A and B are shown apart, each in its own frame.
Chain A
């Protein structure tokens, strides 16, 4: 069984991003970039499935600029087997990514695609769902547990108010939630091995997908800064305060 894991290069979650002076986007000059944390969880899950004997090969793919190959190398160092870089300097929206992934999934004959549930930069939470629709296969989103048995995959989903267990027939799409696993640290020997693992480069145009954005970004702005709070001595004072500001 082959597992496909798409990974996105995003601003590292520790970086406090700043909006560009002209408000057209976030300033990413000289900013540390990393793999989207949810994608890292997806990679970890795929590798664990392979280690448990449920999969034969883990293929990672990234769509974006040349530097995405660093993200792919990280996935290879964690234990993925090979990587595909789909190069484009254009801003790609989830739909375009999903279309490219659909082509790759078909080309590679993958049985399972595991994605991060969303990326921490645009927070779209769309790619996995769009991909499922495009290839007409079942989806198990927000997974906190994934079990593969024969031609079925059982997914425990984190839904509002609890957990939902679903069983899907393969091929299928799974998107990883935060509690699915704890991704490993890449070890130095594996980092060295990753250098020799195959990484093929394609151009986005090779897939004949229309990358044109469907959205127009009108403005990007900093969140409103939170005003300082006050401390109250006890419940009575709290209630009085809430009343005085008309909150209750």
Chain B
């Protein structure tokens, strides 16, 4: 048992670190450092920088232009990117629709879609959840009725993250209601410009426009956009979910935030109360530090199992649950350290790089918005309660 990296891994780590320090557009890095929200173009430029480096297809097979990285290399990549506060890769194209296409799509579909996804030329969004189908996703109702060489699609998808930027959406749709509800679901790709597709924003409690509702009003989609077999969409989506969850724990990112908290404690500015003497705060900080260290090792254990050929299994639900709990605890600690300066609602301060005059220390402005925004992390991707159901059923046999 050892946690040391090989020389090759260490060299790789250096290269990754260098990339995140020097090799992607510096104005984006600056925004990240200052906590300013990224725009569409920023995300694309960042992902194109990864593409130019050959690092866009992290979980892709080499034959489609993927990295072919080992589990350890992926761990290093996500760990470094988190610690460097680099933008997160918008997952919908590169890590969600692409694996379905290269695993279950036909050659024509692979040639048509994969190169543009890899190069971030096309922005994808996800059409899974519906207003009445959240955790019980298989109850979804958006209908796709076969009509000659087309499907006619009607229904509403919701919580569509960054759908306002999207060129395409991948959807789970119901092609059959006769049998088990999981068996009538198909996986289809839809061009957002198709007549009948409309989008309305949902504003979240942090005041931002991140998610949307997407409506389909008798939208005519060619049947060749269906991936794999009709009725197998549920299986594809599920395989994908348990297939690859590297980085889901977001350990690197949380470690960077923990270190930022410690920095603030070490160098308290005059207008913030000094919490390093507050034993209750320090206890909470330590407990989250311990939990994060444990999670780092839990992730390493999962990766070690993967690299010896074992399936990551339902244990990776721990990574999701504990990873998001840690994120939310860190949010609370930031809120505490921000003190009264976390109260003003001045979104200009973090919505663009204008020379807005800060109230209080600069970190404090966004603490509340981040706290609100991150309430989503224990809800999306299968709520933490659903994750516990998975552990209870699949690990404990209950």
Contacts and interface: CB of A to CB of B under 8 A. Distances in A.
B313 interface: yes
A29 B305 CA distance: 11
Interface residues of A, number: 3
Does more than half of chain B's interface fall in helix, strand or loop, or is it mixed? loop
A58 to B, nearest CB: 31
B193 interface: no
A30 B395 CA distance: 11
B397 A29 contact: no
A29 B314 CA distance: 12
Interface string A28-57: 011000000000000000000000000000
Contacts of B275: none
Interface in B40-79: none
A137 interface: no
Interface string B295-320: 00000000001000011010000000
Interface in B342-398: 397
A30 B313 contact: yes
B397 A18 contact: yes
Interface of A: 18, 29-30
Interface string B67-97: 0000000000000000000000000000000
Given A29-B310, A29-B311, A30-B305, 5 more contacts: A18-B397, A29-B313, A30-B310, A30-B311, A30-B313
A30 B316 CA distance: 13
8 contacts: A18-B397, A29-B310, A29-B311, A29-B313, A30-B305, A30-B310, A30-B311, A30-B313
A29 B195 CA distance: 48
Contacts of B313: 29-30
B312 to A, nearest CB: 10
The 8 A-B pairs of least Cβ separation, nearest first, read A29-B311, A30-B310, A30-B313, A29-B310, A29-B313, A18-B397, A30-B305, A30-B311
A9 to B, nearest CB: 16
B314 to A, nearest CB: 10
Contacts of A18: 397
A18 B310 CA distance: 17
Contacts of B311: 29-30
Contacts of A29: 310-311, 313
